[in-house]
Amino acid sequence: MATAEANQASYPAGAVMRLVEVELEPRAAELPADVAALLADAQRELQRFDADFHAAIPAFVPSDFELTYQALAEIQSRQLATGRRFVEWGSGIGVVTCLAAMVGFDAVGIEVEPPLVAIARALAARHDIAVEFACGSYVPNGAEPVVDTAGDVTWLRTDRPSSYAELKLEPEDFDLVFAFPWPGEEQVIYDLFQKTAAVGTLLLTYHSQDGLRLHRKVRR
């Protein structure tokens, strides 16, 4: 599979990039037993979270985990990604990151809230899923002006250190990015992805009742 470096080297400096939508039709199917067990455990964690942390972390809202698993499985089965590295921007309690690992990605999650990172790490450990979670911002150094238009949106906070140094990876090293933007803030995520991702990288986003969308960064 092509590397991020190879993707970037294929295009001249100063080339204009854009996002193109990729057709995605996740197929409903019975969940594998290990995936079903993870999601059941995650549901119990979410119930505890509602009781213990919701008032303190109001920006946390989980995505549709079953639908996202089906989309990740389709991306893998169709070999849509240029490689195996996955990152979740705002990984919450870590479920999507774990699901990405379960379908074959080398998965990491980045989350700014320490209590959520602790839950994610414990959840992955209980299910023996090899993932990594970093506590910090997924906005890389130098990209802060891209998200300034988001105002006070707490899931785009830049008051914590960027996590890429901790992960020993750069934003352009990833082949698939997942994010769940708040309604009306999708363009901020698209702009951040377009600025920081390598050419060829996929962006999978969840839009509540509108479901999932998949884009690829390409040369204009």
Task: Give per-residue pLDDT as tens, 146-157.
Answer: 776 555 554 566
- Report percent pLDDT > 70 for the chain: 81
State the pLDDT at residue 179.
Answer: 95
Q: 194 vs 161, which has greater pLDDT? A: 194
Per residue in 7-60, pLDDT tens? 333 334 455 679 999 999 888 889 999 999 999 999 999 888 776 665 555 555
- Give residue limits of the domains in the chain: 64-219
Give the per-residue pLDDT at 9.
37
What's residue 5's pLDDT?
A: 36
Q: Specify the pLDDT at position 15.
A: 58
CA distances from 179 to 2, 169, 197, 207 (A): 23, 18, 13, 9
As a whole number, mean pLDDT of residues 116-139 equals 96
Question: How confident is the model over 158-187, as a mean pLDDT?
Answer: 88
Q: Exposure string (b/e) for 65-88, b if CB count within 10 Å is 16 or more?
A: beebbbbbbbbbeeebbbbebbbb
Helices marked H in the chain — which ranges?
4-9, 33-52, 65-77, 95-102, 114-126, 144-147, 164-167, 186-196
Class of domain 64-219: alpha beta
Q: Which residue is listed with tokens 């995605």?
A: 24
Q: For 53-154, where are the alpha helices, taking DSSP H only?
A: 65-77, 95-102, 114-126, 144-147
> Above 60 in pLDDT, residue 214?
yes
More confident residue, 189 or 5: 189
pLDDT in tens, 89-108: 999 999 999 999 999 999 99
And the tokens for 120? 């994610």
Q: What per-residue confidence (pLDDT) applies to 14? A: 52
pLDDT at 52: 62
Q: What is the pLDDT of residue 158?
A: 58
pTM of the predicted model as reported, rounded to 2 decimal places: 0.85
Higher pLDDT, 4 or 121: 121
Q: Quick one: pLDDT at residue 157?
A: 60
Query: What pLDDT was estimated at residue 160?
Result: 75
Q: Has residue 2 got a pLDDT over 50?
A: no
Quote the pLDDT of residue 1: 34
